[in-house]
Amino acid sequence: MLPAQPPARAGYAFERPALLQQQRIFGLAHGVHLLLSGCLDRQENAPAARQAYDLWYARQRGALERVRSVLADHFFVSQATPVRWQDIARALGLKETIYPSLGDVPLAAACASLPQALAEPRYDFAAQLEKLDDAAR
């Protein structure tokens, strides 16, 4: 698949709170994806991390697709080329690997905490978008 054209916009939309919330959700989901990738690459608690991620993703798939679609429209306006997750991550200036974000935290510890973290409200993006919709009404 070809990469998207350069974004028409870049960075966070601080002047648009609803869009900023969706950018925040995207950033958190991106971090989850990167952590899972690191866990799978290094086999650090990989089975538990994968199982937790799969369950979480099944519940969040619709919300994540909605956020991806909104941000694709925001950053890339209307383009003929499909906008991929990585294109949006680059437009937001997000990292492409989890390792710089881990700091002093060992990957094994981060992977071990993933199942518990994904159960927290912070990662219930569907509920967050529902609240955002309620506030908009």
Question: In the predicted model, what is the mean pLDDT of residues 69-73?
Answer: 92
Per-residue pLDDT for 137 more than 80? Answer: no
* CB within 8 Å of 50: residues ≥ 6 apart: 36, 39, 40
The half-sphere exposure of 5 on its side-chain side, counting CA atoms within 13 A, is: 10
Question: In the predicted model, what is the mean pLDDT of residues 61-73?
Answer: 94
Per-residue pLDDT for 26 more than 90? Answer: yes
pTM (two decimals): 0.90
